[in-house]
Structure 1
Amino acid sequence: MLSAVILGLVAIAFIMIVIEDIIHVNKAKTTLFFGTLCWILAFIFPMHGSTSAEISEQLNHNLLEIATLWLFLMSTMTFVAYLNSKGFISQLVQRILPAELSERRLMFLIAVFAFVFSSFADNVTATLVSIAVISAIKLEMKKRIQYATLIIFAVNSGGVSLITGDVTTLMIFLAGKVTIPHLLLLVAPSLFAVAVLAILLSHNMKGRIVLEKSPKKLEKPDIIIACIFAATIGSTLVFNILFQIPPVLTFLFGLGIMFLAAQYLLRKKPGVSILNYIREVEFDTLLFFLGVLLLVGILKEIGVLNAIPQLYQYLDPTQANYLMGMTSALIDNVPLTAALLKSGVEMSPAQWLMLTYATGVGGSILIIGSAAGIIAMSKVKELTFITYFRMAGYLLGCYSLGYVGVYLVGTTVLG
Structure 2
Amino acid sequence: MSEAAAAHPTLLDTFGLTLSDSSLTLLAISLFVLTYILILLEKYVHRTVAALLGACAVMILGLLTPDQAWASIDFNTIFLLFGMMNIVNVLSRSGFFDLVARWGMLYTRGEPARVLWIFSLLTAVFSAFLDNVTTVLFMAPVVVTVVVRLGLKPIPYLIAVILASNTGGTATLVGDPPNIIIGSVAGKGFGDFLVNVAPYAVVATFLGIGLMHLLMRWRGDLNAEGAAERLHSIVSDPTPIRTDPKLMRQALIIFGITLILFMVGHPIGLEAGLIALTTSTFLLLIADLTPVELFEQVEWTTLLFFMGLFIVVGALEHVGVFTQVAASLTGAINGDIGLGILLVGFSSAIVSGFVDNIPFTISMASVLKELQGTLGAVMDPLWWALSLGACLGGNLTLIGASANIVVSDIAAREGHPLSFGQFMRYATPIALITTAVALGLYFLVFTLTR
- Compared with structure 1, are the counterparts of its residues 2 and 275 closer, same or farther at alpha carbon in structure 2 (3 Å cutoff)? farther
Within the candidate set 328, 351, 367, 1:345 is matched to 367
Residue identity in the other structure for 1:304:
V
- Compared with structure 1, are the counterparts of its residues 384 and 287 closer, same or farther at alpha carbon in structure 2 (3 Å cutoff)? closer
Q: How does 1:278-357 map to 2 (within 5 A)?
A: 278-309=295-326, 310-315=328-333, 316-328=339-351, 330-332=353-355, 334=356, 336-342=357-363, 344-346=366-368, 350-357=381-388
Any unmatched runs of 5+ in structure 1?
45-54, 267-271
Residue identity in the other structure for 1:22:
L
* Residue 137 in structure 1 maps to residue 150 in structure 2: yes
Within the candidate set 223, 227, 236, 2:253 is matched to 227
* Residue 12 in structure 1 maps to residue 31 in structure 2: yes
CA contact (8 A) 1:104 1:206 kept: no
In the TM superposition, residue 308 of structure 1 has moved relative to its aligned partner by: 0.8
Give the distance between the partners of 1:292 and 1:342, measured in 2 at CA: 17
- The count of residues paired between Structure 1 and Structure 2 equals 388
In the TM superposition, residue 157 of structure 1 has moved relative to its aligned partner by: 1.7
1:358 equivalent in structure 2: 389
In the TM superposition, residue 92 of structure 1 has moved relative to its aligned partner by: 1.7
Give the distance between the partners of 1:157 and 1:102, measured in 2 at CA: 24
Within the candidate set 95, 117, 120, 1:108 is matched to 117
In the TM superposition, residue 165 of structure 1 has moved relative to its aligned partner by: 5.5
CA contact (8 A) 2:123 2:168 kept: yes
Within the candidate set 155, 160, 166, 2:165 is matched to 155
1:195 equivalent in structure 2: 206
CA displacement, residues 303-360 of structure 1 (integer Å, 9 cap, x when unaligned) = 333321113421443212332354147513x1x4413423642155653343233223
CA contact (8 A) 1:305 1:339 kept: yes
- Compared with structure 1, are the counterparts of its residues 370 and 240 closer, same or farther at alpha carbon in structure 2 (3 Å cutoff)? closer
Give the distance between the partners of 1:257 and 1:410, measured in 2 at CA: 47
SS at match of 2:124: helix
In the TM superposition, residue 167 of structure 1 has moved relative to its aligned partner by: 4.9
1:48 equivalent in structure 2: none
Q: Percent identity?
A: 18
CA displacement, residues 154-212 of structure 1 (integer Å, 9 cap, x when unaligned) = 12223345677545555656767755554555555334322233334446679684333
Give the distance between the partners of 1:292 and 1:145, measured in 2 at CA: 24
CA contact (8 A) 1:38 1:295 kept: yes
The RMSD of aligned alpha carbons is 4.2
Give the distance between the partners of 1:174 and 1:124, measured in 2 at CA: 26
Residue identity in the other structure for 1:236:
F
Give the distance between the partners of 1:274 and 1:7, measured in 2 at CA: 44
- Compared with structure 1, are the counterparts of its residues 89 and 357 closer, same or farther at alpha carbon in structure 2 (3 Å cutoff)? farther
Within the candidate set 6, 13, 26, 2:46 is matched to 26
* Residue 98 in structure 1 maps to residue 106 in structure 2: yes
TM-score normalised by structure 2 residue count: 0.69
* Residue 251 in structure 1 maps to residue 287 in structure 2: no
Any unmatched runs of 5+ in structure 2?
1-18, 334-338, 370-378
- Compared with structure 1, are the counterparts of its residues 248 and 292 closer, same or farther at alpha carbon in structure 2 (3 Å cutoff)? same
In the TM superposition, residue 258 of structure 1 has moved relative to its aligned partner by: 1.6
CA contact (8 A) 1:35 1:291 kept: yes
TM-score normalised by structure 1 residue count: 0.74
SS at match of 2:329: helix
CA contact (8 A) 1:354 1:403 kept: yes
In the TM superposition, residue 5 of structure 1 has moved relative to its aligned partner by: 5.0
Within the candidate set 75, 86, 96, 1:78 is matched to 86
Give the distance between the partners of 1:135 and 1:352, measured in 2 at CA: 42
Give the distance between the partners of 2:162 and 2:61, measured in 1 at CA: 39
Residue identity in the other structure for 1:364:
N
In the TM superposition, residue 221 of structure 1 has moved relative to its aligned partner by: 1.3
- Compared with structure 1, are the counterparts of its residues 135 and 36 closer, same or farther at alpha carbon in structure 2 (3 Å cutoff)? same
Residue identity in the other structure for 2:200:
P
1:269 equivalent in structure 2: none
Q: How does 1:232-243 map to 2 (within 5 A)?
A: 232-241=258-267, 243=268
Give the distance between the partners of 1:86 and 1:206, measured in 2 at CA: 32
CA displacement, residues 98-148 of structure 1 (integer Å, 9 cap, x when unaligned) = 262544322211211332455451545644543443233234x7xx77545
Give the distance between the partners of 2:444 and 2:105, measured in 1 at CA: 34
Give the distance between the partners of 1:288 and 1:410, measured in 2 at CA: 40
SS at match of 2:354: coil
Within the candidate set 389, 412, 432, 1:396 is matched to 432
SS at match of 1:111: helix
